[in-house]
Amino acid sequence: MNAKAQPWLLLITNLPGHNPALRMRSWRALKAVGAGLMRDGAYVLPSSKQARELFDGQSAEITAAGGYTHIVSFEASSDEQHSSLLELFDRTAEYRDALQRLQKLKDRLAKLSELDARQELNGVAREVALIVARDFFPGEARKQMECALEDAESAINSRFAPDEPHSARRSVARRDGKEFTGRTWATREHLWIDRVASAWLIRRFIDPDARFLWLKRIKDCPKRAVGFDFNGAEFTHVDSKVTFEVLLASFGLEHDVGLVRLGALIHHLDVGGIPVPEGPGLITIMTGARTLQPDDDGLLAAMTPVLDALYAGYANATES
């Protein structure tokens, strides 16, 4: 985004010396609406009518208590300054925390009553709504969070109200694994993260006898082959889900904690969103494997033990 395209409002405050209650009240109010703290007493928001009203309200309260304020409208002087301002409004960490709460709910779903499950889901949904209200520059993390909320609601409905009609939005059809054994699977050549992980998933959990075709041109995909991770393929991205996640949902694997955590890693590396700590390491390994292997068969063979190890680590990790 061009630095000149986004106007900002800056509130500069100078509170009376010995009024900690006002200082705390002002800080909490500005934090609640998502204002970015540039330095002590200096807050910034994307310029809007609502932002101006919020800053005017805080200004009036501070002035009435004997302090003084300035409200300044400005534009970033460079793309670098613009980027540093955007970082003040990055809600990724907040979405990550909410997503972890949601995953814990799904992991415990079999042990919960319907009332407890729905109360926990509503609690996470309220928390996410507050984050969304402060998310002035939504991106992949927000889409990922919204999709996860709908998936959790669908899981609860499937457990406690299986006969009720459910929304088709972001739905992925459940497939019969028996129809996908001993098949030929095809995707684009020069594998990268989502395709190599999906091929690993297919061979490890869906079709142990799978054969793979790496296509130079999508139009050369044989009619009897099962396509994945390209436009028009039988299995490919659906809304916020990457192909790996679609395969999990399609074949009933989304309750495997290790695969779900691996899916979150693949999602982030493929389309962005909520970061996963192992991401940079997997990118480095994948990049190195590509330079060492002569073709995609060799690359899949080289990456298989890496993905095996990641899956085992995720599946066996204890909750802190």
Domain ranges of the chain: 3-87, 92-160, 177-316
- CA angle 109-114-119, nearest 5°? 90
Q: Amino acid identity, residue 260?
A: V
CA proximity to 149, closest of 234, 63, 239, 233: 239
Q: How far, in Å, are 49, 112, 225, 249 from residue 180 at the CA level?
A: 56, 34, 10, 15
Instruction: Give the Cα separation of 121 and 213 in Å (integer).
Output: 42
CB 28 within 8 A of CB 68: no
pLDDT of residue 2: 52
pTM of the model: 0.66
Q: What is the block-wise mean pLDDT of the chain (320 residues), using blocks of 10 residues?
A: 74 82 86 89 92 92 90 92 93 93 89 87 87 91 87 79 48 90 96 96 98 95 96 91 95 93 92 85 92 96 98 77
Would you state the structure tokens that stand for residue 144, as one six-digit string? 């990922």
Q: How many CA atoms lie within 13 A of 136 on its CB side?
A: 19
Report phi then psi at 73, rounded to 5: -95, 135
CA proximity to 295, closest of 199, 191, 209: 191
Instruction: Give the Cα separation of 152 and 26 in Å (integer).
Output: 36
Would you state the structure tokens that stand for residue 283, as one six-digit string? 């990118």
Strands (E), 232-308: none
pLDDT of residue 274: 84
Place of tokens 């800056």: 10
Which residues does residue 185 pair with via DSSP β-bridges, in sequence order?
Answer: 212, 226
Residue 146: exposed, middle, or buried by beta-carbon count in 10 A (0-12, 13-18, 19+)?
A: middle
Instruction: Give the Cα separation of 283 and 55 in Å (integer).
Output: 43
Residue 118: exposed, middle, or buried by beta-carbon count in 10 A (0-12, 13-18, 19+)?
A: middle
What is the Cα Rg of the chain in Å?
Answer: 24
Continuous segment of H or E residues that includes residue 260? helix 257-271
pLDDT of residue 181: 96
CB 45 within 8 A of CB 8: yes
Convert 264-290 to b/e letters by CB count within 10 Å (16 or more is b): bbbbbbbbebbbbebeeebeebbeebb
CATH of domain 3-87: 3.30.70.240
pLDDT of residue 212: 98
CB 226 within 8 A of CB 185: yes
pLDDT of residue 1: 47
Would you state the structure tokens that stand for residue 207, as one six-digit string? 């079709």
